[in-house]
Amino acid sequence: MRIGVIDVFCGIGGLSYGFKTEGFEIIAGIDTDPSCRYAYEANIRGNFIEADVSHVKKNLISELFGREKWSYRVLIGCAPCTPFTMYTGRYRKNRRDDDRWHLLNDFFRLVKGDKT
């Protein structure tokens, strides 16, 4: 059984590494931080795609999975936790104004396969 994985918000690949260790095939990681590229590609041996998830479309995800015969296609991701932490809620008055909250909706949009 072949399970292909794409990691959204991959960073240097911590989540991808855990999945790879358990036998999953990592296809690619997507992140906005170009400084993560070397560590991700060296440790995971997957493609690093520098992109903002809010601009990633369903077509890119489909292209990355390609025409290979995957038993399962898995989309994983750990959105940046800063807007959700207790520290943020305790010390920032405008916690809800943090522009990273939308990242959860963007990830959900990709999971659902919406075109927009």
Q: How far is residue 58 CA from its own chain's centroid?
A: 13
Query: What is the value of pTM for the model shown?
Result: 0.81
| In the chain, where the domains are located | 3-112
Regions of the chain short of the pLDDT cut 70: 81-101, 114-116
Q: In this predicted structure, what is the pLDDT of residue 113? A: 77
Task: State which fold the 3-112 domain adopts.
Answer: Rossmann fold (3.40.50)
pLDDT in tens, 48-77: 999 998 889 889 999 999 988 999 999 999
Q: Where are the beta strands (DSSP E) in the chain?
A: 3-8, 25-31, 47-50, 72-77
Q: In this predicted structure, what is the pLDDT of residue 84? A: 55
Q: In this predicted structure, what is the pLDDT of residue 114? A: 66
Catalytically active residues are 81
